[in-house]
């Protein structure tokens, strides 16, 4: 993404905003929800809208939009990458760049639980709606669901996620739900911390699987934990493994993902920062390694 390319994107938004709708209407749709192998590799880039910009040691890595778009285009061009996950601003830039042809596109729906905010667990739906996703011709929507048993604001997010699952199902779109049991680390002013124990991840998966008036189009997005077989045994819903923070030891992360991909209900990976901002900055090699795991 050159400086001139960035200028052209802004000029298109300024003078030809309808070009975004035209690009969405003209996008070549994928032939199915996963690749020919029956597996999915989805590149996630919805972090900035929640104020989560860190990637490894770089605190503002994802704040450089030109750099992020360059990395996304590189990743999406690699063989075996089946889809992308992002907020409207990111996905519409990619539409204008022609980078979404043939990809399964998931729009991020709730980004209101800003990272580190006192109201983080009250994760309002500030992004895509089911109607907006259908209008754009995308394949699904993703929602984050933190379950803090000590914070009654959790109930609101739970209710709104259930409503979003139902709305997506009514439109024939995938609802990708990313649930965590979470709690404040050391008090009300501390950020939420996700409980990644096998028991808590299993509990979160069962709660998320039961949301809405239909689960026919629901997928789960879960972390790779020690006993993934036990977690995956809790539901028949298609499940993708999330990448999380950039790992200090990439080889260990790849091995963990490979193990997590073994259960029959796990259909692939949905990874962002670990592939877009690898420690050696070689996006192509990181993506190709992930494709190899599938």
Residue 29, exposed/middle/buried by CB under 10 A (0-12, 13-18, 19+)?
A: middle
Strands (DSSP E) found in the chain: 40-45, 83-86, 104-108, 140-147, 174-184, 192-194, 218-222, 239-242, 266-271
Indicate the SS3 state at residue 55.
strand
Mean pLDDT score, 163-185? 96
Mean pLDDT score, 166-174? 98
The β-bridge partners of 55 are 58
Does the pLDDT value for residue 63 go beyond 90? yes
Report the alpha-carbon distance of residue 222 to residue 244 in Å, rounded. Answer: 10
Mean pLDDT score, 239-266? 94
Report the alpha-carbon distance of residue 42 to residue 257 in Å, rounded. Answer: 14
Mean pLDDT score, 267-275? 97
Number of continuous H segments (helices) and E segments (strands) in the chain:
11, 9
Report the alpha-carbon distance of residue 48 to residue 127 in Å, rounded. Answer: 12
Domains in the chain (CATH in brackets) are 42-293 (3.20.20.70)
CB-side exposure of 179: number of CA atoms within 13 Å?
27
The β-bridge partners of 78 are none
Using one digit for the tens of pLDDT, what is the confidence trace for 125-137? 999 999 999 999 9
Mean pLDDT score, 235-258? 93
pTM of the model: 0.96
* Predicted pLDDT at 189: 55
Q: What mean pLDDT value characterizes the chain?
A: 96
Does the pLDDT value for residue 218 go beyond 60? yes
Residues across the chain:
294
Using one digit for the tens of pLDDT, what is the confidence trace for 77-129? 999 999 999 999 999 999 999 999 999 999 999 999 999 999 999 999 999 99
Report the alpha-carbon distance of residue 287 to residue 275 in Å, rounded. Answer: 6
Does the pLDDT value for residue 12 go beyond 80? yes
* Predicted pLDDT at 151: 95
């Amino acid at each position: 993404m050159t400086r001139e390319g960035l200028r052209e994107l802004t000029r298109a938004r300024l003078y030809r905003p309808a070009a975004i709708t035209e690009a969405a209407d003209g996008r070549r749709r994928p032939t199915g929800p996963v690749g020919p192998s029956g597996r999915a590799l989805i590149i996630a880039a919805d972090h900035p809208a929640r104020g989560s910009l860190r990637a490894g040691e770089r605190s503002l890595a994802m704040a450089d939009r030109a750099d992020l778009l360059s990395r996304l285009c590189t990743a999406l061009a690699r063989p075996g990458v089946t889809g992308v996950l992002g907020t409207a601003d990111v996905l519409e830039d990619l539409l204008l760049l022609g980078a979404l042809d043939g990809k399964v596109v998931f729009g991020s729906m709730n980004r209101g639980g800003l990272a580190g905010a006192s109201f983080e667990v009250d994760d309002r739906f500030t992004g895509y709606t089911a109607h907006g996703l259908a209008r754009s011709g995308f394949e699904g929507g993703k929602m984050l669901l933190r379950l803090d048993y000590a914070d009654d604001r959790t109930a609101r997010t739970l209710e709104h996620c259930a409503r979003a699952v139902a709305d997506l199902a009514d439109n024939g779109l995938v609802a990708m739900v990313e649930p965590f049991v979470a709690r404040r680390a050391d008090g009300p002013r501390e950020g939420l911390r996700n409980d990644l124990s096998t028991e808590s991840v299993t509990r979160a998966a069962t709660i998320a699987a039961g949301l809405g008036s239909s689960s026919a189009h629901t997928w789960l997005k879960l972390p790779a934990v020690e006993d993934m077989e036990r977690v995956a045994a809790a539901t028949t819903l298609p499940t993708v493994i999330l990448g999380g923070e950039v790992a200090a030891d990439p080889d260990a992360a790849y091995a963990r993902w490979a193990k997590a991909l073994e259960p029959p209900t796990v259909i692939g990976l949905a990874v962002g920062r670990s592939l877009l901002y690898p420690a050696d900055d070689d996006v192509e090699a990181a993506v190709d390694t992930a494709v190899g795991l599938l």
